[in-house]
Structure 1
Amino acid sequence: MSRTFWKVLGVLSLLAGISLLMQSPGVFATRSPDKQLEFIIGTAALVGLCGLFAIACWFPQSHKFTLRVIGLFGVVACLFSIYDIFRDRHLNWVAMFSRLALIVGLWLPGSLYLVKKGNMTDL
Structure 2
Amino acid sequence: MVTEVTNGIRVSVRQKYQPDYSNPFQAHYVFTYKISIENLTDYTIQLKSRVWNIHDGNGSYREVVGEGVVGQQPVLEPGESHDYVSGCNFKSGIGKMYGKYMFEKIMTGEEFEVNIPEFTLCVPFKLN
Fold in common (TM above 0.5): no
Higher helix share: 1
Structure with the larger strand share: 2
- TM-score normalised by length of structure 2: 0.24
> Normalising by the residue count of structure 1, what TM-score does the alignment of the two structures yield?
0.25
Larger Rg, first or second structure (1 or 2): 1
